[in-house]
Structure 1
Amino acid sequence: MKAFAALLDRLVYTPSRNAKLRLLADYFRRTPDPDRGWALAALTGSLDFPNAKAGAIRELAREQTDEVLFALSYDYVGDLAETTALLWQTQGDAEAPGLADVVETLRQAGRTEVRGLVSGWLDGLDATGRWALLKLITGGLRIGVSARLARVALGQAFDTAVEEIEEIWHAVDPPYGALFAWLAGDGDKPDVAGRPTFRPFMLAHPLEERTDLDPADWLVEWKWDGIRVQLAARGGERRLYSRTGDDISAAFPDVLAAMDFDGVLDGELLVRDTADPASADPAAFNALQQRLNRKTVSKKMLAGHPAYVVAYDILFDGAADLRGLPLEQRRRRLEAFVAGHGHPDIELSALLDAPDWESVAALQAEARRLGREGLMLKRRDSRYEPGRKTGLWFKWKRDPLTADAVLMYAQRGHGKRSSFYSDYTFGVWRGGELVPVGKAYFGFTDAELAQLDKWVRNHTVNRFGPVREVEKRLVFEVAFDSIHASSRHKSGLAMRFPRIGRIRWDKPAEEADRIEALEAML
């Protein structure tokens, strides 16, 4: 546990991606099995302790600490695990637990056993170890390491392409003994033949406005406003994978039901507009969001938000690997595949008529009005290769929307910014009242963050746990991809991908945008 805690502690205070990769790779090389396997599972979100809840941790901490002191400390620190780790008063001289012991014991523990186990482990650890233990248990690491970054580091540790690891990832289970044996040269590569495994996506480079491409060399499609998915069906097994390789099959049984084929498709996951059944266009992205990150889906949800896929590409037709073929040939195979399959929930992505660059630009300009995210341009002769390959695929997204909004609430961030107020809720005017329309974190320099953090502290008017309400005086210029109606928000609106463009120190709050301006963007 001590080595894992030291790793997490260093990762939190290491902003550089390359430095994080080096730390992770070194840990995977040096740490023995099964500890490194359980650490990898924790970093990739593959651990679940159903009987260990954050509420139990909070109760443990309050039993040892004055309730007012705990509340004040939590308000200052802003993180339950860190607050508990710092306040914990050790009892006796317990021995520090090992990572494998913690994981394997918790997986078997009943709900009534968890509190006693955790209390004993906390007594055997220092503050850093206690923090790491509690982060492990609650599942909220928040250390700036994504599941894919962990797999990239694993590949670097053993000089193996991450694409090879990703293709077998869903065929191995924690603590990944067979995976590490293969990577270390002590075992065979796990066999995925005949399994619906994930194949890394081919990605596109952003395209700013340019006219040096010959449209005759490119296929042009809409970039749909959904999420990129891979449909994999082999030997009677069916899987739906996200762009990052996560298995999201459980959330979309209706899509799995449509996958009565043998092959692998690349496409866009969308939801039909049940409010307008006659429309051929999908519902807005927020309708799709209702289906994401669910372990089970109710009949009501399936009926109200039916999912379907627009197919872009075909990677496998049966057992035949088509990724080495030029796009034009794959496209013909895809057309035949979709037509032969004939299921209404798997549609073919239409090719757009764009004989010259002016036509391409005109289509891009129409994207927002038509509810599209932009355009995709793909070289006709491109093979399907994982990752972003220079000059083969481009995405030309619609221009972002912007609004001037007033800062209403601030909350402490996580990781290295946990001592700063860096998460902000902002709103616009409805009559004489501000109503919240979005939340975003601050992504500028440390100096600017410190300046804004000081402003928040000096202009606080109320507190709600880790959240501060501030004077309604500071204006942000907020950029966002789109805006949708939402019954979950007081304003009736929800922004998609809001980000703070700049702070308008010069602009009076009364001159910020009104709700009517945002409603006009719907």
Structure 2
Amino acid sequence: MPAFAELLERLVFTPGRNAKLALLKRFFATERDPDRGVALAAISGELSFTAAKPALVRELVASRTDPVLLAWSHDYVGDLAETVALIWPEPTHRPNRPPPELSEVVEALELAAKAEIPAMLAEWLDLLDPGGRLALIKLVTGGLRVGASGRLARQALADWSGHPVEEIEEVWHGVPPPYLPLFAWLEGRAERPDPRDAPVFRSPMLAQPLEAPDIAALDHTAFRAEWKWDGVRVQASAGPGGRRLWTRTGEDLSGAFPEILEALDFHAVVDGELLVIRDGEVAPFADLQQRLNRKVVGPKMLRDHPAGLRLYDLLFEAGEDLRPLPFDTRRERLEAWFACVKPARMDLSPQVAFASMEQLAALRDGARAAGIEGLMLKRGDAPYIAGRPKGLWWKWKRAPLSVDAVLMYAQRGHGKRSSTYSDYTFGLWRPDGAGGEELVPVGKAYSGYTDQELVWLDRWIRNHTLSRFGPVREVEKELVLEVVFDAAQLSSRHKSGVAMRFPRISRLRPDKPAAEADRLEALMAMVENRPQ
């Protein structure tokens, strides 16, 4: 556990991707099995302890400390694990045993009944130093926000072992934690694990954004065009070994979309876009969001938000790897396969005909009115290559929208931002029904600003706080933020009646009076697919 705690602490406070890779690489090279495999599972989000909820941790700590002091400390620090690490009292008589190993903690949590967990946690907290306590609470509550993802961890394995990360990705989901066969292969002690027909994830091919210099140099005759649909890019893998639905980062979505999983009645791997589709029409992304991150999907949700898969590519057919083939050939194979298999809840993403870049630009300009993100351009002779190779696939998204909004609330972030107000709720003006105007929240953003702007914003928020609601601060309605976003959609879940797609802070407008910020009707006018 101490080595894992040190790794987490250094990941939190180490900026830069390469530096984090170096930390992970050293950890995997020096730690023993099974602890390094358990750490890998934790960082990748493969561990979940349903009985160890944050509320249970708070109750345990409150039993050992002053509950009021605990509440004030949590409000100031902003992170439960960090608060527990600092406030947990040193035991009068420390247990006569070493701190627990990481694998020991995980095994005990997996086997323990809920009633046994508080005593176990208390004993471990007594044995650990503050760094170890921080790691323990983050582990058991699922709060490992340390700036390292599963993909980054697998890249570190590749850097350490010399095996391509794409090979590791294809083995990854066929080997359960703590990944003993995986580490044996990477160290040259065993053959590469064979997932056989298991539905493993393959690293996707991604597109480069198309900018002005690239447009000028583009030979449009070499490319094929498709619409860029506003959903979630997924990979569906099915065969004798099972069925799975993956996001482009390898997250398993199978449980949230049982109707799609049922439709994977074939032996192939397809690449496509997950959408909510009603009567052949693509619903706004906000409808798809209702389905994401759900462990249980009821009949009403299945009926009101029917999911479908719009297919882009065919990667494997009956065990044959089609990725080395040119895109044009794979498209022909996809169309023939689709006509033969006729998979339920799926259709083909149509190719868009064009004769010039000017014509393509006009199509792209009209994408917003059709509720489409933009265009994809794919070279006809391009193989399917994992990663983001330059010049083979381009994404030409429509220009973002923007509004000037007023900062209303702020909340601390996570990880290295846990002590900084970095999450911002903003609003627009609307009539209050009494002849005046009121601000109504329209979105939340936590990106887009620079480090210097974050420091300025944090100081401004602390100096202009009106009241507190747990971790949230309400601020004076004085600061205007220019917010850019990809789309606006009607939403019954939001008080304003509208939801933004990917809002981020473009710039701070301390020069602009709050009364001159935009009105809600300006945002409503940008809503796509609005009923007439």
**TM-score, normalising length: structure 1:** 0.97
- Give the structure 2 partner of residue 68 of structure 1: 68
Q: One-letter code of the match for 1:72?
A: W
Q: CA deviation at 1:51?
A: 1.4
- Give the structure 1 partner of residue 260 of structure 2: 255
2:165 pairs with 138, 162, 169, which one?
A: 162
- Give the structure 2 partner of residue 310 of structure 1: 310
Q: One-letter code of the match for 2:227?
A: W
- 1:314-463 to structure 2, matched below 5 A, reads 314-431=314-431, 432-463=437-468
- Cα 1:442/1:374, change in 2 over 3 Å: closer
Question: How many Å separate the matches in 2 of 1:350 and 1:520?
Answer: 29
Q: Please say if 1:486 is aligned against 2:487.
A: no
- Give the structure 1 partner of residue 244 of structure 2: 239
Q: One-letter code of the match for 1:353?
A: A
Is the contact made by 1:424 and 1:442 (CA closer than 8 Å) also made in structure 2? no
- Cα 1:494/1:250, change in 2 over 3 Å: same
Q: CA deviation at 1:246?
A: 1.7
Is the contact made by 2:308 and 2:345 (CA closer than 8 Å) also made in structure 1? yes
Q: CA deviation at 1:212?
A: 2.7
Q: Please say if 1:153 is aligned against 2:117.
A: no
Is the contact made by 2:483 and 2:505 (CA closer than 8 Å) also made in structure 1? yes
Is the deviation greater in 479-488 or in 361-370? 479-488
Is the contact made by 1:13 and 1:416 (CA closer than 8 Å) also made in structure 2? yes
Q: What do residues 142-178 of structure 1 show as CA deviations (whole Å, max 9, x unaligned)?
A: 1111111111112112111111111111111111111
Q: Please say if 1:509 is aligned against 2:514.
A: yes
Is the contact made by 2:326 and 2:383 (CA closer than 8 Å) also made in structure 1? yes
Is the contact made by 2:422 and 2:454 (CA closer than 8 Å) also made in structure 1? yes
Q: CA deviation at 1:442?
A: 4.5
Q: CA deviation at 1:264?
A: 1.0
Instruction: Name the count of aligned residue pairs.
Output: 517
Q: CA deviation at 1:443?
A: 4.3
For the residue of structure 1 that corresponds to 2:115, the secondary structure is: helix
Question: How many Å separate the matches in 2 of 1:446 and 1:343?
Answer: 48
Question: How many Å separate the matches in 1 of 2:521 and 2:422?
Answer: 28
Q: CA deviation at 1:247?
A: 1.8
- Give the structure 2 partner of residue 205 of structure 1: 208
Q: What do residues 263-322 of structure 1 show as CA deviations (whole Å, max 9, x unaligned)?
A: 11111111113xxx3xx3210001111111122211111111111111111111112211
Q: CA deviation at 1:250?
A: 1.2
Is the contact made by 2:198 and 2:241 (CA closer than 8 Å) also made in structure 1? no
Question: How many Å separate the matches in 2 of 1:305 and 1:131?
Answer: 40
Question: How many Å separate the matches in 2 of 1:194 and 1:389?
Answer: 28
- 1:69-218 to structure 2, matched below 5 A, reads 69-91=69-91, 92-94=93-95, 95-209=98-212, 210-218=215-223
- Give the structure 2 partner of residue 11 of structure 1: 11
2:234 pairs with 223, 229, 233, which one?
A: 229
Q: One-letter code of the match for 2:108?
A: T
Is the contact made by 2:449 and 2:506 (CA closer than 8 Å) also made in structure 1? no
Question: How many Å separate the matches in 1 of 2:452 and 2:209?
Answer: 29
- Give the structure 2 partner of residue 286 of structure 1: 286
For the residue of structure 2 that corresponds to 1:377, the secondary structure is: strand
For the residue of structure 2 that corresponds to 1:191, the secondary structure is: coil
Structure 1: unaligned runs, 5 residues or longer: none
- Cα 1:225/1:443, change in 2 over 3 Å: closer
Question: How many Å separate the matches in 1 of 2:297 and 2:501?
Answer: 23
Q: One-letter code of the match for 1:93?
A: R
Q: One-letter code of the match for 1:285?
A: F
Greater than 4 Å deviation, 4+ residue runs: none
Q: One-letter code of the match for 1:513?
A: D
Identity %: 59
Q: CA deviation at 1:67?
A: 2.0
Is the contact made by 2:197 and 2:241 (CA closer than 8 Å) also made in structure 1? no
Is the contact made by 1:74 and 1:465 (CA closer than 8 Å) also made in structure 2? no
Q: One-letter code of the match for 2:246?
A: Y
Is the contact made by 1:218 and 1:377 (CA closer than 8 Å) also made in structure 2? yes
Is the contact made by 1:211 and 1:357 (CA closer than 8 Å) also made in structure 2? no
Is the deviation greater in 193-202 or in 425-434? 193-202
Q: CA RMSD in A?
A: 1.2
- Cα 1:5/1:424, change in 2 over 3 Å: same
Q: What do residues 47-81 of structure 1 show as CA deviations (whole Å, max 9, x unaligned)?
A: 11121111110001111222221121111100111
Question: How many Å separate the matches in 2 of 1:445 and 1:199?
Answer: 34
Question: How many Å separate the matches in 2 of 1:168 and 1:206?
Answer: 30
